[in-house]
Amino acid sequence: MSARILVADDDRLTARFLHSLLSEKGYEVAVADDGEQALELVGTHHPDLILSDMVMPYLDGMDLLRALRGDVRHARIPIILLSLKDREEDIVAGLEGGADDYVVKPFNARELLVRVRKLLSRAGPS
């Protein structure tokens, strides 16, 4: 059974790119346009990993992190933050907020795949 990944990004182009990239490698990918939708999809799709942008309408990356980490059902899902913000403060804030990894955009696709694979294998079979 292939792992399920949720991509949350309001930038449609990035979302399409990630969808294509991850589907190629055999993952099942769902896409959310904003934080609110992402939260909904977590509840219905039960992803094994989440790739989320930091800046989104309605509920941004940090809020999403907080919501997920605060919920016992979803607290263990590995989350990779993907963001344009490359300031030290934002990266530290993201990681301290509970993200497992932080990738700055523009990102390196192959690198990202490796990180995804590692986190998924660490988390173990769902």
Partner 1 sequence: MQQILLTAVVAVGALFLGLTVLIVVTKAWREGRDRWRAARRREMEPRILRWVHGDGTSLQVALGGVTRGERTVVESVLLDHVQRVRGMERDRLARALDELGCVERYRRGLQSGRWWTRAASAERLGMAGAVRAARDLATMLEDPVPEVRIRAAAALGAMGGEAAVRPLILALDEPSRWSTIRIADILTGMGQPVLEELVGVFPRMTVQGKLAAIDILGRVRSVEVVDWLRARLLNDHRDVRARACHALGAIGDADSAPAVAQMLRDPEWPVRAMSAKALGRLRYQGAIPGLALAVRDPEWWVRANAAEALRRMGEPGLAALETLLDDPDNFARHQAVLMLQEAGVVDQRIEALAGPDGPERRRAESMLAKLAATGQVGRLRELEVVHPDPAVRRALSLLRERAAEPAGVPS
Partner 2 sequence: MSWIEIATRAVVWFNYFVLVYFLLLNTLYLGLFVVSLVEIVRFLRRTFFSDDRQIMQSDMTWPISILVPAHNEEKTIAETVRSLLMVNYGEFEVIVVNDGSGDGTLARLVEVFELRRIDRPYKRSLPTREVRGVYGSLVHPNLRVIDKVKGGKSDALNAGINLSRYPLFCSIDADSIIEENALLRVVKPFMERPQETVAVGGIVRIVNGCEVRDGKVVRVELPDRPLAVFQVIEYLRAFLTGRVGWSVLRSLLIISGAFGVYRKQDVIEVGGYSIATDTEDLELVVRLHEHMRRQRRRYRVVFVPDPVCWTEIPNSVRVLARQRNRWHRGLVQTLWRHRSMMLNPRYGGIGLFAFPYFVCFEMLGPFVETLGYLVVLLSFFLGVLDLQFLLLFVAAAGLYGIFLSVAAVLLEEMSFRRYPGWVDLTKLLVFAVLENLGYRQMLALFKVRAFLDVVRRRRAWGRMDRSGFGEPLPASADR
Binding residues (CB under 8 A) for partner 1: these are 11, 13-14, 16-17, 20-21, 24, 105-111
Closest contact distance (angstroms) between CB of 110 and partner 1 is 6
Both structure tokens of 96: 């301290």
**Of residues 6, 11, 117, the one with CA closest to residue 55:** 11
Per partner kind, with CB cut-offs from 5 to 8 A, the member of partner 2, partner 1, none near residue 58 is: partner 2
Binding mask 66-105 for partner 2 (x = CB under 8 A): ------------------x---------------------
The residue from 10, 17, 19, 58 that contacts partner 2 (CB under 8 A) is: 58
CA distances from 19 to 29, 41, 59, 79, 92 (A): 6, 15, 21, 16, 27
**End-to-end alpha-carbon separation of the chain, Å?**
10
Cα 101 to chain centroid, rounded: 9
57 binds partner 2 (CB under 8 A): yes
